[in-house]
Amino acid sequence: MDILKLNPVSPLVQQVLGANYEVKDASDAPIGAIVRSFDMHEYALPESVIAVARAGAGVNNIPCDKLAEKGVVVFNTPGANANAVNELVLSALLLGSRKIVPAIEWVKTLKGTENIGKQVEKGKKAFVGREILGKKLGVIGLGAIGYKVANSAIALGMEVLGYDPYLSVNNALHLSRAVEITNDIDELYKSCDYITIHVPYTKDNDKMISATKIAEMKEGVVIINCARGELVDNQAILSAIKDGKVGRYVCDFPCEELIGEEGVVLTPHLGASTPEAEDNCAVMAAQELKDYIENGNINNSVNYPRCSSPKTTAHRITICHLNKANMIAQFSGVLGEKHVNIENFINASRGDYAYSILDVNEVSDEIVASLNEIAGVIKVRVI
């Protein structure tokens, strides 16, 4: 079976998939696709593709809703690049505290001049910074990356205040007991010396760091954004830097209005740019594709619900369908009419869409055809 790669990916993908798969740059009938940064919004995805795996967390480059309508499951790899982003955020804390970048640039101007040592001792006062020890860091979002950042900051001697209304039990168990949790994000804005953002971008949180929210923050606050550029109102940040309200803005998403501005430190989207992170993301993406193709299990999808179960019988029927009433009854009705017993059944929903797994001992083309005729069914697959 062919897996279409829309970007170069780690060779570990082929190792994970195994001999029954071939990872290709082009294919007439691939069963799945793996992507990193390639923009798929105007791309004509082959009709044979049943799943797309993004080797990374963000899926802004993928038309997830349109693919859901076609029964194409989109996966991402949350947490696979968490350590790489965590380490970049730690460097951002120091870049936001100490004037390291301008100091480095100034030192370059000394080449070829006399008495460099004296000039250094005289000029270094222009680059005085502050220490992070004992300062308070606000972490917005305590997912796979956020909880690592929080724990690392605790280890560096900072106080940490975390905010995440959707904090999972698993991530909560990983959090240091020294991390304080608040249910009021405004409390975080008002009390923290540093604020770092670790939430996915949605239309609902567009420019969540706005002029109004910045006005609530402490004087000289350092804001770190290694999540998504759209989460912050750039004009509000620039105005706040000029007013002294924001001490520094460290951002991993360069854009025209921020480049070259004083008080702004930009890196070129380096969050997951380590060979370790790229390998981790690629391996996780390949595992998700393989499990879905071979077993029909959905884990870490962004457009269909999490739904997985060990296969217990000779045949498994999987159904992508709309999340509407009476669907399950109709599925069991079709199988009942053919005197087929359902040995195991699992269903889950997410927004407008749902997914069902039915393990049976026998299945026919006639049963598949009848299931496909049910209004609201998008795709039926037999494994």
Per-residue H/E/C for the chain = CEEEECCCCCCHHHHHHCCCCEEECCCCCCCEEEECCCCCCCCCCCCCCCEEEECCCCCCCCCHHHHHHCCCEEECCCCCCHHHHHHHHHHHHHHHHCCHHHHHHHHHCCCCCCCHHHHHHHHHHHHCCCCCCCCEEEEECCCCCHHHHHHHHHHCCCEEEEECCCCCHHHHHHCCCCCEEECCHHHHHHHCCEEEECCCCCHHHCCCECHHHHHHCCCCEEEEECCCHHHECHHHHHHHHHHCCEEEEEECCCCCCCCCCCCEEECCCCCCCCHHHHHHHHHHHHHHHHHHHHHCCECCECCCCCECCCCCCCEEEEEEEECCCCHHHHHHHHHHHCCCCEEEEEEEEECCEEEEEEEECCCCHHHHHHHHCCCCEEEEEEC
54 is catalytic: no
Residue of 228, 248, 316, 321 with catalytic role: 228
Residue with tokens 């059944």: 345
Question: In 3D, which of 255, 233, 200, 196 has the Cα closest to residue 60?
Answer: 200
131, 257, 337, 373: which one is catalytic?
Answer: 257
Q: Are strands 2-5 and 32-35 parallel, antiparallel or unpaired?
A: parallel
Which one from 69, 180, 187, 269 is the annotated catalytic residue? 269
Sheet containing strand 315-322, edge to edge, reads 342-350, 353-360, 315-322, 377-382
Q: Quick check: is 41 catalytic?
A: no
Whether 321 is a known active-site residue: answer no
Q: Give the residue numbers marked as catalytic.
A: 228, 257, 269
